Chain A
Amino acid sequence: MAMEIVYRVKRFDGEKSYYQEYSIPYEKDRTILWGLIKIRDEIDPTLSFRSACRSAICGSCAIRVNSNALLACKTSLDKQLALYQTNILTLEPLANFPVIRDLVVDWENKFKHMTEVKPWLIGEKDCPGGTGYYRQSPDEFLEISNPTDCILCGCCVSECTQHTNLRDEFYEPFIFTKSWRFTADSRDNSPKAHLLPVLNEGGLWKCVRCQQCITKCPKGVRPADHISRLRCSSMNYGFTDNLGTRHAQAFAEYIQKTGRLNEVTLPLKTEGIFRTLKRIPFALRLLRKGKLRPLYFPSPIQGIEGIRKIYNRLRKEEKK
């Protein structure tokens, strides 16, 4: 049976954008990129998209298919058709990037952000005078192995809920990964230099841990984990005078005490009395809808001893 598949492509010519449908005959074991190339070679040479290595390493070909960012070269057409139970796929440029033409997006600004975290080794710790080489143990290498898998494809940027929401107040996820890559490098002599920009400019504590960056990364890189590690690092360096740290500490405190949160007093601990006052209208709305119990002071849950043991154990490990 000669099945047709349809690529519904979001086009942009510099002024207007519109959707255009292309039908191509189905072939087994092909990739999304195969279809794009086929359209460009055989149907419409004006269709613009990027691709180079066609083996998931150069990061050129990231696009959105049915609103999910992916690498066109690595993604099986069959699997996408099966996933959506359809023969029509909608292809769009990555979100959160300016579009140049069709599926081609502009990266210049992202590289500027990247430069802010000083993505280079600040060193000379063990190789004085810039000769010889640094020793690094296989374990220390493993620490930076995952973050150095990043191919700068932009999938995480496109799908990050908080970057979509806050734009300039929250860095693109891969930039946290870059920052962590150097903060964690045993050879680096100035980890703070990579960490402070994400803390001050990048919105380190604003990540809502939705895990989209991890889910969407085609290379298994884990930006959200790197954000967590950066948060820990920042606290270890003593940068604790901020909402994020207080919030995290309050969380930890509650759980140790009772095994559950108290949402009435949590904002007080995190934000202090003045900011919390500002939240009163919101609290009243919650109250009206029955979402808040003002007089509720939770008693410890069953098995709280177990939780406290975990805490003690962690503290001991930390001291070591």
Chain B
Amino acid sequence: MLTYDVVIVGGGGAGMRAALEAARDKSLQVAVFSKTYPTRSHTGAAQGGINGAFAFKDPTDSIEKHFKDTVKGSDFLGDQNAIDFFVNECPECILELERMGVPFSRDEFGRIAQRPFGGASSPRTCYSADKTGHVILHTLYEQCLKHGVKFYNEWFLLELVVDKGRFQGLIVQNMHDGCIHPVNTKSVVIATGGFGRIYWNRTTNALNMTGDGTAACFNAGIPLKDPEFVQFHPTGLAGTGILMSEASRGEGGYLINKNGERFMSRYAPEKMELGPRDLVSRAIETEIREGRGVGGNGNFYVLLDLRHLGKKKILERLPQIRELAIDFENLDPIEHPIPIRPSCHYMMGGIHVSDHTTCSTPVPGIHAAGECACVSIHGANRLGGNSLADVIVFGKAAGKGACLSAKELSSGAEPILLKRTAYWEEKFRTMREKGHGLKVAEVRDRLAATMWNNVGIFRTEKEMEKALSEVEELLQEYNSCYIGDSSTKYNSAFIQYVETGNLLNLAKAVALAAIARKESRGCHARDDYPTRDDANFLKHSTVTKIGDEYKLSYIPVTITKYQPEERRY
């Protein structure tokens, strides 16, 4: 049986940062399992940058300001003790990246360059042109090669085995030959990214961001925290949802409606286009709703105008954005404004992390970091540039935490791991043999449609109830799905079947928690409860799965020094 002390699931930014940390302890056996080659992870798609209060660009910036911006950005739902830890760690963690070799853009003094970002009171987003995530991901991978980290590439996590509250190990599938293996390990870091694909095509997320690790934790009895908080990025390409980074606004891009008006003046008169994402997304959707969108035939959008920045600046600072606009909308931003519309971008909610210093969850030995986890530092709305920072800061903390766990805990029990392996082998076999039924893609598309239409940017009880009952129906219908591929080799149909199941489970939790939160906070905007209600809802939702039952409860938010106030920009 594959046996390790520490296993990391996920080869993205958080996973590899955790692996590097864990690999420092030479007495421990460490391995990374990832369903893609690490450099294919979605961290690579992050364009704009990573936040650290160095005060290079603006001498008045400070850790304290980063703290306040993050708390305010979270609409006071972020835990202030965790945010404090986070903003203090960011600068050193970014310098570590720099020393590892990340090629950051530079200022004239040779320091890391910084740019303004939405919701930030000073320009503190460090960047490498508009490919920041890409260079971080590749540098982390190169560091892992340097330190001889063991990778299992294209191995898929199927299940976390927890027995009577005790973590035992995991069940994984080698996608290349289809073999299913138990992995006996004392501790694990789940770093499997977000699940924006519950909205399928209306997302900036990669095709495989299906929240498998989140679902595995959820199935293992670990609560999902704040799942209702889904961030919609204001500037997805209208046709495909592909992201035009916030850097495009950071560098000075305008948002324009069909009358040629910079409409943000009505929603965030001071910050204008640099308002936080939730606010800008709602502004765009409001423009469209009120008939000031561009386009027609049910296909409306607004325009992102970069032309006034000039060719030089666009080529230097936003080359990738330009390329994306040319490739995917057939428009060159140097000459044309780009049609954009909000798209699902980021999950603030996720696996309930109960101790931010070790990223541990309520089950000893299971740690979580990155977008799959909810610490929570992002609360009801994440600030741009805070996620890459989250991935690095908490990836490192989780790696350390998992090492500590591995030293305290013993290995899992082999019989139960073998039993669960047999279960999955049987499932894989029956699915390969099953000749007919419902198409997985059909279930997936119906899920996305109901989530987009009913649990989108503006929400009401009636619509969300509709979504909930549809998701429940789909969960039933999912049982009659077939995959139509009998091969054991690289059976992506089976993988997609499992992924779709995960999306369904998670979407149900999103809808459930969203219905129960009868207020508007951050990106959870309800037409029927348009204001924030601190008296009743200044608390985290948690959804726990017990068998097929979903149980909703609440836990308090930690507030230390910044008392909730009205959030204005």
Knowing A29-B330, A74-B327, the reply to whether A141 touches B44 (Cβ < 8 A) is no
**Which residues of the partner chain B approach A76 to less than 8 Å between Cβ atoms?**
327, 330
Tell me if B40 and A52 are in contact (CB < 8 A).
yes
Interface size (A, Cβ < 8 Å)?
Answer: 61
User: In the bound complex, how far is the Cα of B440 from the Cα of A42, in angstroms?
Assistant: 10
User: In the bound complex, how far is the Cα of B110 from the Cα of A137, in angstroms?
Assistant: 4
Interface pick from B25-33, B95-103, B361-369: B95-103
Which of A50, A56, A141, A185 meets B323, CB within 8 Å?
Answer: A56
Within 8 A of B (CB), among A129-181: 130-138, 140-141, 144-145, 148-152
User: In the bound complex, how far is the Cα of B101 from the Cα of A101, in angstroms?
Assistant: 35
A311 in the interface (beta carbon within 8 A): no
Tell me if A121 and B327 are in contact (CB < 8 A).
no
B334 in the interface (beta carbon within 8 A): no
| Closest A residue by C-beta to B113 | A138
**Which residues of the partner chain A approach B492 to less than 8 Å between Cβ atoms?**
40, 48
B42 in the interface (beta carbon within 8 A): yes
Tell me if B98 and A134 are in contact (CB < 8 A).
yes
**Which residues of the partner chain B approach A51 to less than 8 Å between Cβ atoms?**
207
Tell me if A133 and B487 are in contact (CB < 8 A).
no
| Closest A residue by C-beta to B109 | A135
**Which residues of the partner chain A approach B7 to less than 8 Å between Cβ atoms?**
none
Which of A123, A135, A148 meets B111, CB within 8 Å?
Answer: A135
**Which residues of the partner chain B approach A108 to less than 8 Å between Cβ atoms?**
153
Which of A14, A55, A127, A131 meets B328, CB within 8 Å?
Answer: A55
**Which residues of the partner chain B approach A100 to less than 8 Å between Cβ atoms?**
176, 489-490
Within 8 A of B (CB), among A221-279: none
Which of B44, B99, B324 meets A133, CB within 8 Å?
Answer: B99
Within 8 A of A (CB), among B15-48: 36-37, 39-42, 44-45
User: In the bound complex, how far is the Cα of B42 from the Cα of A57, in angstroms?
Assistant: 9
Which of A45, A46, A111, A138 meets B106, CB within 8 Å?
Answer: A138
Tell me if B44 and A57 are in contact (CB < 8 A).
yes
Interface pick from B129-137, B222-230, B297-305, B376-384: B129-137
| Closest B residue by C-beta to A112 | B145
Interface string of A87-114 (1 = CB under 8 A from B): 0000000000000111010111001001
A305 in the interface (beta carbon within 8 A): no
| Closest A residue by C-beta to B493 | A45
Tell me if A53 and B42 are in contact (CB < 8 A).
yes
Which of B36, B142, B327 meets A119, CB within 8 Å?
Answer: B142
A115 in the interface (beta carbon within 8 A): yes
Give min CB distance, A110 to chain B, whole Å.
10
Tell me if B138 and A148 are in contact (CB < 8 A).
yes
A21 in the interface (beta carbon within 8 A): no
| Closest B residue by C-beta to A137 | B110
A4 in the interface (beta carbon within 8 A): no
**Which residues of the partner chain A approach B113 to less than 8 Å between Cβ atoms?**
138
User: In the bound complex, how far is the Cα of B42 from the Cα of A101, in angstroms?
Assistant: 23
B530 in the interface (beta carbon within 8 A): no
Tell me if A151 and B112 are in contact (CB < 8 A).
no
**Which residues of the partner chain A approach B98 to less than 8 Å between Cβ atoms?**
133-134
| Closest A residue by C-beta to B144 | A120
User: In the bound complex, how far is the Cα of B96 from the Cα of A127, in angstroms?
Assistant: 11
Tell me if B490 and A42 are in contact (CB < 8 A).
no
Tell me if A121 and B101 are in contact (CB < 8 A).
yes
The binding surface of chain A is classed by DSSP as loop
Residue with the highest number of chain B CB atoms closer than 10 Å, among A133, A136, A187: A133
Knowing A53-B42, A58-B40, A136-B110, the reply to whether A145 touches B103 (Cβ < 8 A) is yes
A59 in the interface (beta carbon within 8 A): yes
A54 in the interface (beta carbon within 8 A): yes
Knowing A114-B145, A119-B142, the reply to whether A151 touches B103 (Cβ < 8 A) is no
B354 in the interface (beta carbon within 8 A): no
Tell me if B104 and A130 are in contact (CB < 8 A).
no
Which of B36, B40, B109, B441 meets A41, CB within 8 Å?
Answer: B441
Give min CB distance, B111 to chain A, whole Å.
7
Tell me if A52 and B42 are in contact (CB < 8 A).
yes
Give min CB distance, A33 to chain B, whole Å.
9
A13 in the interface (beta carbon within 8 A): yes
**Which residues of the partner chain A approach B489 to less than 8 Å between Cβ atoms?**
13-14, 100-101
User: In the bound complex, how far is the Cα of B441 from the Cα of A182, in angstroms?
Assistant: 44
B166 in the interface (beta carbon within 8 A): no
Which of B36, B142, B440, B487 meets A60, CB within 8 Å?
Answer: B36
Knowing A29-B330, A114-B145, the reply to whether A54 touches B439 (Cβ < 8 A) is no
**Which residues of the partner chain A approach B44 to less than 8 Å between Cβ atoms?**
53, 57-58, 151
**Which residues of the partner chain B approach A152 to less than 8 Å between Cβ atoms?**
37, 39, 138
Tell me if A144 and B207 are in contact (CB < 8 A).
no
Tell me if A115 and B145 are in contact (CB < 8 A).
yes
Interface pick from B184-192, B238-246, B386-394, B456-464: B238-246
Give min CB distance, B92 to chain A, whole Å.
9
Nearest 3 interchain pairs by C-beta: A135-B110, A121-B101, A41-B441
Can you list 15 pairs linking A and B with CB atoms under 8 Å apart? A42-B441, A45-B440, A46-B485, A48-B490, A53-B42, A58-B41, A100-B489, A101-B490, A132-B95, A133-B98, A133-B112, A134-B99, A135-B109, A137-B110, A145-B129
List 6 extra interface pairs beyond A53-B44, A118-B146, A121-B101, CB under 8 A: A52-B40, A55-B328, A57-B44, A107-B37, A115-B145, A141-B103
